[in-house]
Amino acid sequence: MLKNVAAVVLDGVNPFELAVVCEVFGTDRSDDGLPVYDFAVASAEGPVLSTRAGFSMQVEHGLERLEEADLIAVPAGACFESRTFPPELLESLRRAVDRGAQVLSVCSGVFVLAAAGLLDGRRCAVHWHHADELARAYPGLTVEPDVLYVDEEPVITSAGTAAGIDACLHIVRKEQGPEVANKIARRMVVPPHRDGGQAQYIERPLPKNSYDTVGEVLVWMDRHLDEDVTVEQLAERAHMSPRTFARRFQQETGTTPYRWILRQRVLQAQRLLEATDETVDSIAGRTGFGNAAALRHQFVQAIGTTPHAYRRTFRGPEEAA
């Protein structure tokens, strides 16, 4: 049973990510019949720490507080992707996992868990901005760049900022049931579970690579997303045989013509859902999907949520309606 929770902070901690953990586990909601956690913040680098927002904070507890915790949360902080961490902190985290405690990272706090070796052979989540860097620095783990959180018990990792709320509520739901998690979410005025993953928040502009032979064809394809085209037609525009064109396209873009144009169609649909009042049927026609059902299928595959849900997220319920 989850009773004792500690958030461990380092110099340069992000206040919001720390506050997420404090809000879920450190607020007394016993007036609603909800559990009260034995919660504390512990410092890994002395009693006075700076925050990324420019103010300082004084922390009562040190690393000894982690020894009794059922759950240890590591919020994000400044330059976690490039700094080193206190060896005694990493050892405390390993010791906690060995005795059966859970550990949670919020956003770039995942770099601390990775440095402790707790993610070797495991999947993990991180803010999409840090995904490539995390994968390069720690090749023994598997980054899931499109999800809000990953539960590889006893290690739970979450993506950026608000995804920490999703991960905290997931832990409550797992340990104490959906009713408790839903009541906490209601008190916080947040959804108990969000649709989709962080794929819907990732900016994916057209790549700015320097293409040797297919650059002009890519420009043409991007301007004619609403048209059905074949590899043979594209190869003719590039003055190549279909076989040579397909091979060069793969070499220069890292994908096939079909997958490239499909991704650009989804991107264009995202832009239209955000910026226009067009119906989903109209957007499906403009982006080459033909009908709303086909757009919805490909959109869910690529983004992890439906066009209607995406529009609600980025335009609000009134505009989406």
Average the pLDDT over 109-122 and give the result. 97
Position 6 confidence tier, pLDDT thresholds 50, 70, 90 = very high
Q: Give the whole-angstrom CA distance, residue 211 versus residue 189.
A: 48
Structure tokens at 173: 């739901």
pLDDT digits (tens, 9 = 90+) for 210-237: 556 788 888 899 889 999 999 999 999 9
For residue 258, which amino acid is it? Y
Is residue 252 a contact partner of residue 213, using CB atoms and an 8 Å limit?
Answer: yes
Domain architecture of the chain: domains with CATH = 4-199 (3.40.50.880), 215-320 (1.10.10.60)
pLDDT digits (tens, 9 = 90+) for 74-102: 999 999 988 999 999 999 999 999 999 99
Which residue would you say has higher pLDDT here, 48 or 198? 48
- Please indicate, yes or no, whether the overall pTM of this predicted structure exceeds 0.85: no
Using CA atoms in the order 12, 25, 71, 11, what is the torsion angle rounded to 10 degrees? Answer: 10
Structure tokens at 120: 């070797």
H or E element that contains 40: strand 38-43
Tell me which residue has tokens 């070797």: 120
What is the CB-side half-sphere exposure of residue 174 using CA atoms within 13 A?
14
For residue 254, which amino acid is it? G
